[in-house]
Structure 1
Amino acid sequence: MRVPFDLRLLSACALAAGLSVAAPLGALAQDSTAPAQETPAAAAPETPSPDTVIATVNGADVTEGELDMALNDLGEQFAQLPAEQKRAAALSAVIEIRLLAQQAADAGLGENEAFKQRMAFLRERALHSAFVEQKVAAEVTDEAVRARYDKEVAATPPTNEIRARHILVKTKEEAEAIIAQLEGGGDFEAIAKEKSTDGAAPQGGDLGYFGPGQMVPAFEKAAFALEVGEYSKEPVETDFGFHVIKVEDKRTQQPPAFDQVKDQVRSLLFREKYFEMVQSARSAAEIDVKDPALKEAVGKIDAAQ
């Protein structure tokens, strides 16, 4: 019944998850009258410095900072491991990398052109990531996200929406007979449950609240023309069949709460800031793509950003 529509920036779905915690059986079995045993709070472990040496490999130090990088880069490989085993697995990986990298260097594998090109590309990727983190992401602050949300809400005109029910049938004659039944005092919800062919029939034809652009035009025009409590006196024809519509309520649509959409707003700001910097860099650069077909394809991608 509904047609696709654009929710723009502030469209979002709220997801909820519940967690339950079960008390240990032994704790439940304790005598509630027994005096409580006080357990001294464990001191929080100190965070080691990134320069802290945690191992050596053939005399070369492995630091806490290098271990953290391994945990970040190899995190997916360790995802199934218990937390206490992740550091050990990461350190083992660092040791293996160090040992085999040294053998590769001794064999001269780092001197061929293909390897040097790859290293140059990886360096550029790392610099790109550092730039994005420090010059783009750092500017997308909580205050900037909130300000953008407030700006979008202020710029969005109030939209009226209605809550309606409908009864959908195949022929105009069936719809006219239903209207006659309603005129005689029939109950709209009961008739919808009995005769409507729409998926909302079990709910008495209830379509919930909707605003402009969310229903097909003929249905929307007829529904918004009705007052609260009124039903259509003539069948409304659409591609789905013939409708009898009843309006249950009208209200002004409220924008989604900030907490519902703050992640989407943050992503939007990040994207805008990133492409603003990319376009600035491109406009100041001399770029010449030699292959005409490839140049055209790249141009289309750039234009779509």
Structure 2
Amino acid sequence: MTAREHNGTEGLRRRAQWPARMAILLGFWLLAAATALSLAQPLQAQAAERLAGVPGSVTLAQSGTAEGTDLPPPELPAAGAAPSGPEVARLKEAFQQMNVQNPVVARVNGQEIRWAEVVATADDLPAQYREQIESVFPALLDRLVDLRLLADAARAEGLDNDPAVAKRVAAFEDRVLSSSLLERHLTERVTTAALRERYDVLVAARRGDREIRTRHILLDSEAAAAAVIARLDQGEVFISLASELSAGPSAARGGDLGYFLPSRMAPAFADAAVALEPGEYTRVPVETEFGWHVILLVDRRADNTPSFLDMQDQLREEATKTAVDRLLLSLRHQAALEMFPEDAGAGRLEGAQ
């Protein structure tokens, strides 16, 4: 058996050993990668069936010493096996060394595939597989080899000169460039320090602000609200009156609005509620855009502002959106931009007639 036949047979043997979930997952990954990194779906449809007839050679640097370093590749555990603690530590240490050396791990028709290229393809996998890169590396390498073979077959068929394919390649190039620009832009602006600064501003705005819990009775006129206050003065129960008379959705809860920061309520409502002591109700009706209120202060407590760690993901999401919006707005202002949405709509209508 030649080295080339051995490498091909060895690749098929490894694939047969992958767990079903891994095989399915990497199958989907290959389809996505083939679309994005080579010449897209036409490549598979038109070139795959002719792959066997395309002259080429594949050399996997998995048996023996890797090119450019005296360090042999790590011995990966068989699929489905659970490595022991010492074995996991040894694999991780070996992978760290390989990351530094970045050796050649395969050659496809004379073109080198290096360690870092294979590891980079794991970025598209779910987190649980990225964390097990030591185990999935052989599968990723096989898939990258397949991708290179398909791409070479496509070029041999002349697909790289096909105008339709060229358009798709150009579109993918635009996506890569735009993603790279956004990544650089966000890396510079959405930093932990910037998120911490934003968090401190939010905390400062809420500092000293105490949450209050209230009940209220919402009525449609000042006279009706005054009549309710008179009944409360006579000793009737606030909860009962709220359930009976309030026009608000909280009537089913006896008028209970729960805990909230006063700054989140209508100013007139908040001012009246803050002026009360727990157990007191407003002696005059309070008007807001919703109607007339009779308010009971139930409790007052310190604001439970989340910690920075609890809010970090939310802050990062908001900062990312803000940064992207500002960048796009700036680019639109600088660009010579013409858009004709009306013409596009008219064209669709004419085509439909």
- TM-score over 0.5 (shorter chain): yes
Gaps of 5+ in 2: 1-83, 345-353
Q: Select the residue among 51, 58, 64 that pairs with 2:102.
A: 51
Q: Does 1:246 align with 2:246?
A: no
Q: Look up the match of 1:145.
A: 195
Residue 234 to residue 83, structure 1, CA distance change in 2 (3 Å): same
Q: Look up the match of 2:173.
A: 123
Q: Select the residue among 169, 182, 185 that pairs with 1:132.
A: 182
SS at match of 1:249: strand
**Residues 210 and 302 in structure 2, CA contact (< 8 A), matched pair in contact too:** yes
Q: Distance in 2 between matches of 1:218 and 1:166?
A: 13
Q: Distance in 1 between matches of 2:207 and 2:301?
A: 14
**Residues 236 and 242 in structure 1, CA contact (< 8 A), matched pair in contact too:** yes
Alpha-carbon displacement from aligned partner over 1:249-279 (angstroms, at most 9, x marks no partner)? 3567565432333233333444444455555
Q: Look up the match of 1:69.
A: 120
Q: Distance in 2 between matches of 1:288 and 1:40?
A: 59
Residue 89 to residue 154, structure 1, CA distance change in 2 (3 Å): same
Q: Look up the match of 1:99.
A: 149
How many equivalent pairs are there?
251
**Residues 229 and 283 in structure 2, CA contact (< 8 A), matched pair in contact too:** yes
SS at match of 1:62: strand
AA partner of residue 264 (structure 1) = Q
**Map of 1:1-305 to 2, 5 A cutoff?**
41-42=86-87, 43-45=89-91, 46-47=94-95, 48-49=98-99, 51-58=102-109, 60-73=111-124, 75=125, 86-154=136-204, 159=209, 162-167=212-217, 179=229, 182-189=232-239, 191=240, 195=244, 200=250, 205-212=255-262, 214-215=264-265, 223-224=273-274, 226-233=276-283, 244-250=294-300, 256-278=306-328, 287-289=336-338, 291=340, 293=342
Q: Distance in 1 between matches of 2:217 and 2:335?
A: 63
Q: Distance in 1 between matches of 2:268 and 2:197?
A: 39
Residue 200 to residue 87, structure 1, CA distance change in 2 (3 Å): farther
Q: Distance in 1 between matches of 2:185 and 2:306?
A: 30
**Residues 196 and 205 in structure 1, CA contact (< 8 A), matched pair in contact too:** no
Alpha-carbon displacement from aligned partner over 1:218-255 (angstroms, at most 9, x marks no partner)? 75565455444212446668898875431123567565
**Residues 167 and 195 in structure 1, CA contact (< 8 A), matched pair in contact too:** no
Residue 144 to residue 56, structure 1, CA distance change in 2 (3 Å): same
SS at match of 1:115: helix
SS at match of 2:281: coil
Residue 103 to residue 151, structure 1, CA distance change in 2 (3 Å): same
Percent identity between matched residues is: 35
Q: Distance in 2 between matches of 1:150 and 1:216?
A: 25
Gaps of 5+ in 1: 1-38, 296-305
Backbone CA RMSD of aligned residues = 4.6
**Residues 122 and 133 in structure 2, CA contact (< 8 A), matched pair in contact too:** no
What TM-score does the superposition give when structure 1 sets the normalisation length?
0.59
Of structures 1 and 2, the one scoring higher in RCO (CA 8 A, sep 6+) is: 1
